[in-house]
Amino acid sequence: MAAKAGNIGDNDAAPDNVPSQFLLLRGLEATVAEELFAKGVAKLNKPTGPAVQSMQQLQKKSKVASTTGDSNLGAKEGTLRRVLLIRDRKTNESWRYGFAEYATIEEAQAALTRYNSFERFTIASKQVLVSYIHAGVFVPVHNPSAATERFTFSPLSNPSIKLQYWDEEAYVTELVVNAPSAHDHNPKQLPTNPADIEGLKPIQETDKSKKT
């Protein structure tokens, strides 16, 4: 079995729907690899050029309008940073879910808004669920060993930090789609402190979070 019982990605969804730079995509076909995954996620971008005209023409036909999404919505081109697919450490098989990292929270929100405009959002002809992730999906690795190094990955803004997926029976494989350039660096959006990395804690101001 590709994924163990109880872990099909549902545990990673944000229970309170707090926005983050990462979107969780669940329900992938087991055969969907990183490249196809990235192409599927790209459908959450705002259409440009000929794609806009084609989309608008489709939306004039009521039967397909609800399945094609709103061409006015979506993340801007080039803001999808990378996709992360969850695979089994022993078998390397896909667990049939993964993550999409965007340049900013706002772009991830725009992508999710576009997702919500679809009647059915599919990748490889299979319906896929999209949501934000919660705080504990990625955890810092303080002393990675040679044996576990390949199961780690780093924030695009700070290669010296090592992270891993919370479930130690799985790991993420990453495919960088649009690497940030030097002028894109914004410490507020791309933190270097592990405690501030999106995906390690909610995006909302922690100082105002629940404290008793």
Query: What are the tens digits of pLDDT across the range 6-21?
Result: 578 999 999 999 999 9
pLDDT in tens, 139-178: 999 988 988 899 999 999 899 999 999 999 999 999 999 9
The tens digit of pLDDT for each residue in 30-68 reads 999 999 999 999 999 999 865 444 444 544 443 444 455
Mean pLDDT of the chain: 82
Residue 41's nearest CA partner among 105, 113, 128 is 128
Kindly list the domain boundaries of the chain, sorted by start residue. 10-132+173-185
Q: Which residue has the tokens 């410490």?
A: 187
Q: How much of the chain exceeds pLDDT 70, in percent? A: 73
Choosing among 3.90.79.10, 3.30.70.330, 3.40.190.10, 3.20.20.70, the CATH entry for 10-132+173-185 is: 3.30.70.330
Specify burial of residue 101 (Cβ count, 10 A radius: 0-12, 13-18, 19+). Answer: buried
Q: What is the pLDDT of residue 144?
A: 85
Q: Which residues contact 63 (CB under 8 A, 6 or more apart)?
A: none
The Cα 110–Cα 199 span in angstroms is 18
Q: For residues 57 and 90, give the distance between their C-alpha atoms in angstroms, rounded to a whole number.
A: 47
pTM reported for the whole predicted model: 0.77
Predicted confidence at residue 71, as pLDDT, reads: 72
| Mean pLDDT, rounded, for 62-83 | 76
Q: What is the DSSP string of the chain?
A: --S-TT-SSGGGB-TT----SEEEEE---TT--HHHHHHHHGGGBPP-THHHHHHHHHHTSHHHHHHH--TT-SBPTT-EEEEEEEEETTT--EEEEEEEEESSHHHHHHHHHHHHH-SS-EETTEE-EEEEB-TTSEEE-SS--TTTGGG-B--TT-TTS-EEESSTTEEEEEEESSPPPGGG--TTTS--SGGGSBTTB-SS-GGGS---
